[in-house]
Chains A and B, each alone.
Chain A
Amino acid sequence: MPLLGPLLRRRPLLPALLVLLAAAIFLADTITNLEIAVAVFYVAVVLIAVRYLDRRGVAIVAAACMALTVLSFFLTRAGSMPAGVVNCAISLVAIAVTAYLALRTAAAEASAREAQAQLAHITRVTMLGELTASIAHELNQPLAAIVLNGNAAQRWLAGGNRDEAGKAAERIVRDAERASELIKRLRGLTRKAAGKAIWLDVNKTVTETLPLVQNEAGRNHAALRTELASGLPQIQVDPVQIQQVILNLTLNALEAVKDESVRDVTVQTSLGKPGEVIIAVRDSGRGLDGVQMDHLFDAFYTTKPDGMGMGLAISRSIVESHGGRIWAEPVVPRGAAFRFSLPAGRTGSRGPDR
């Protein structure tokens, strides 16, 4: 069942719980002679369903509850008929209204989430725009001076004034160095990994990161699994940055499987070459067909219609600043795997003991 597939994988007990609860209410409603609207309790079933099922699922559950209410009305032998009709009507209305309101609320929450995501995206783009503008301005000064000095040198030479031309040429060299100094400083800004590195358990890092994307996985009805190797050595990294890489790759993978029939994303850890730990994110998505592998990790290269092309570029710069590598491979029979390596200490060691 496509509806219950992912649900069963994540919370295998839930459907059983719902059925059990509905059955209990049904029995209480049918067997007891209490002149109260026991069937009103079906709203509990609907409310639980809203948390875990999509719109259609909730509608089906609500309809089933209403059907049970009517059924138990006809099965009930004893009791006053008018009271029974009123109770039944109250229950039906309560279930219907609850389902309607709950679905409305869920839809509003979803659109709020979407708006938030969009806002975050816009903020990122704006920040990037401002950064670019200020970099452009800083670089423009020396560039403009270089151009003018070049022009001046040509004119001085044409007029036979070698002395002035030489001075202009000296200024060209000086300003070019100033421009490249600026670029160097900018690079320094983006590479600040060194200071915050600590020794870390790879598997723990992965398991602490994945709950952050669990919601997204649920929304895409994807199964998020881990295959963690035991006895891995520790790595010396900035935990926040490495988590960011794992998050980036996992979110990409979840997006890749969104419209597929098989929606599996697996995060693996394993031992690579000696002194190396490998973290991999594998998906069952469309794969890497038509992707320019050489440019996959370049800034502003993207295969997504609304992508910025920054995620993989940032991931690469983080991994490389930690002394590791990042690469992508196709997966047989379908999908892609993004792997990155990180330098590690000795196997089984608890830290940088020597």
Chain B
Amino acid sequence: MNEPEQIVFVIDDDPAMREALDSLLRSVGLDIRCFGSVAEFLGAPRPDIPSCLVLDVRLPGKSGMDFQKELALSDAPLPVIIMTGHGDIAMSVQAMKTGAVDFLPKPFREQDLLDAIAAALDKDRLRRAQAAELAILRERLATLSDGERSVVVLVVQGRLNKQVAGDLGVSEITVKVRRARAMRKMQAGSLAELIKMAGKLGI
């Protein structure tokens, strides 16, 4: 089997549901891994590719709703689609508030599930892209010297070169040199781009 480029995880304690979901998702060309409980899912290796989780509420051991909350608080929040055989409004509101992509009462329309899965995979792809971008920016930021870094901090606050020179007690020429070097290291084509990067990095 080729390495899949995206994957759908399913946790449902009912074998018939797992088989049906497995067949349906394979029929539309999705890669799928099924588990009978949260513990089983946590014990299995998870490839580092865009993925999402279709989660049943009533499970042996840890309940689906509890596990969803835990996932949402973790540093790799996997997008979750909740499905349940006895859902009520309160439960669905709670699930959506905790960030579930969708809440499907059983039995549901296949298209609803497929749409939810597509949305969840997109969400994860976007999150991964953002995380990757942030990692690159952090790497670049790390190459800056302390002097260059303090210039960037003041420049993105909107201070002029002259003012930055005054603030740091260096010459305006030095500020210009450090600023140019920082722009090059950060691969920022313009001041606007640098400001956006600073925003993502939280400086």
Contact = CB atoms under 8 A, between A and B. Distances in A.
Nearest to A134: B86
Contact of A140 (B24, B28, B86): B86
B27 A171 contact: no
A149 B23 contact: yes
A141 B14 contact: yes
Contacts of B23: 148-149, 152, 156, 164, 167-168, 171
Contacts of A146: 20, 107
A149 B85 contact: no
Contacts of A171: 16, 19-20, 23
A151 B112 CA distance: 12
A136 B87 CA distance: 11
A147 B110 contact: yes
B16 A174 contact: yes
A145 B28 contact: no
- A-side interface mostly: helix
B86 A144 contact: no
Contact of B20 (A133, A149, A155, A159): A149
Contacts, number: 77
Contacts of A136: 85-86
A140 B107 contact: yes
Contacts of B14: 141, 145
Contacts of B106: 140-141, 143-144
A162 interface: no
Interface in B15-73: 16-17, 19-21, 23-24, 26-28, 58
Given A136-B86, A147-B110, A151-B110, A141 B27 contact: no
Interface residues on A, range: 20 to 34
B20 A141 contact: no
Contact of B27 (A140, A143, A147, A159): A159
A144 B16 CA distance: 9
A148 B85 contact: no
A178 interface: yes
A245 B107 CA distance: 38
A174 to B, nearest CB: 7
A298 interface: no
Given A141-B14, A143-B106, A148 B86 contact: no
B28 A155 contact: yes
A282 to B, nearest CB: 45
Interface in A150-195: 151-152, 155-156, 159, 161, 164, 167-168, 171, 174-175, 178
A137 interface: yes
A140 B19 contact: no
Nearest to A155: B27
Contacts of B24: 148-149, 151-152, 155
A142 interface: yes
A3 to B, nearest CB: 53
Contacts of B113: 148
A148 B27 contact: no
A250 B106 CA distance: 43
A145 B27 contact: no
B28 A143 contact: no
A143 B17 CA distance: 9
6 contacts: A140-B85, A141-B14, A145-B20, A152-B20, A168-B23, A171-B16
Interface of B: 14, 16-17, 19-21, 23-24, 26-28, 58, 83, 85-86, 106-110, 113
Closest 7 CB pairs of A and B: A151-B110, A144-B107, A148-B20, A140-B85, A144-B106, A155-B27, A152-B24
Given A144-B17, A168-B20, 11 more contacts: A137-B86, A141-B14, A141-B106, A148-B21, A149-B19, A152-B23, A152-B110, A155-B28, A164-B26, A171-B16, A175-B20
